[in-house]
Amino acid sequence: MAERKPKTIGELRASGYKVLSVKEELRKNLISKIRTGAPIFEGIIGYEESVIPQTENAILSGQDMILLGERGQAKSRMARALVSLLDDEIPLVAGCEINDNPYAPICMACRMAVAEQGEQVEIAWLHRDKRYGEKLATPDITIADLIGEVDPIKVAEGRYLSDELTIHYGLIPRTNRGIFCINELPDLAERIQVGLLNIMEERDVQIRGYRVRLPLDLYVVASANPEDYTNRGRIITPLKDRCGSEIRTHYPRTSQIEMEIAEQERTRFEDEGLSSSVPEFMREIVAEITQLARRSPDINQRSGVSVRVSITNYENVVSNAVKRAIRLGEERAVPRISDLASIVASTAGKIELESADEGREEHVIDKLIQNAVLNVFNRSCNVQDLEPVVARFDKGFAFEVSDQMRVSDYERFGRQVPGLMEAAHALLEDTHPAMTASAIEFILEGLHLNRKLNKDKVTGKAQYRGHHAFL
Please, what is the Cα angle at 236 between 214 and 80, to 5 degrees?
A: 60
Q: Which residues pair with residue 207 across a beta bridge?
A: 210
CB distance 195 to 147 below 8 Å: yes
CA distance 218 to 176: 6
Q: Is 185 exposed, middle or buried (0-12, 13-18, 19+ CB in 10 A)?
A: buried
pLDDT of residue 357: 64
pLDDT digits (tens, 9 = 90+) for 187-218: 888 877 877 777 666 655 666 555 666 788 98
- For 400: left if phi > 0, alpha if psi spans -120 to 50, otherwise beta; the answer is beta
Q: Which residue from 455, 456, 453, 422 is spatially nearest to 439, judged by alpha carbons?
A: 422
- The residue-averaged pLDDT of 336-351 equals 91
pLDDT digits (tens, 9 = 90+) for 115-162: 999 899 999 999 999 999 999 888 888 877 887 776 655 555 555 545
Give the DSSP H/E element, type plus range, for residue 197.
Answer: helix 190-197
pLDDT of residue 194: 77
The dihedral through the CA atoms of 79, 80, 84, 88 has a sign that is positive
What 8-state DSSP symbol labels residue 299?
B
CB distance 143 to 31 below 8 Å: no
- Strands 123-127 and 89-93 turn out to be antiparallel
CB distance 26 to 60 below 8 Å: no
- Strands 218-224 and 65-68 turn out to be parallel
Print burial letters for 377-398: b (CB count within 10 Å at least 16), e (below 16): beebbeeeebeebbebbbeebe
- The residue-averaged pLDDT of 372-390 equals 94
pLDDT digits (tens, 9 = 90+) for 219-228: 999 998 887 7
Percent of the chain scored above 70 by pLDDT?
90
Map out the domains of the chain with their CATH numbers: 9-248 (3.40.50.300), 255-465 (no CATH)
CA distance 28 to 107: 27
CA distance 327 to 420: 27
Q: Which residue from 365, 363, 366, 388 is spatially nearest to 443, judged by alpha carbons?
A: 388
pLDDT of residue 244: 83
Q: Which of 138-147, 153-162, 268-277, 293-302 has the highest mean pLDDT?
A: 293-302
pLDDT band per the 50, 70, 90 thresholds, residue 471: very low
DSSP, residue by residue, 44-66: --S-TTTHHHHHHHHHHTT--EE
Helix and strand numbers, DSSP H then E, in the chain = 20, 16
CA distance 346 to 314: 9
Record the pTM.
0.85
Rounded to the nearest integer, the mean pLDDT of the chain is 87
Q: Which residue from 54, 46, 43, 49 is spatially nearest to 80, judged by alpha carbons?
A: 43
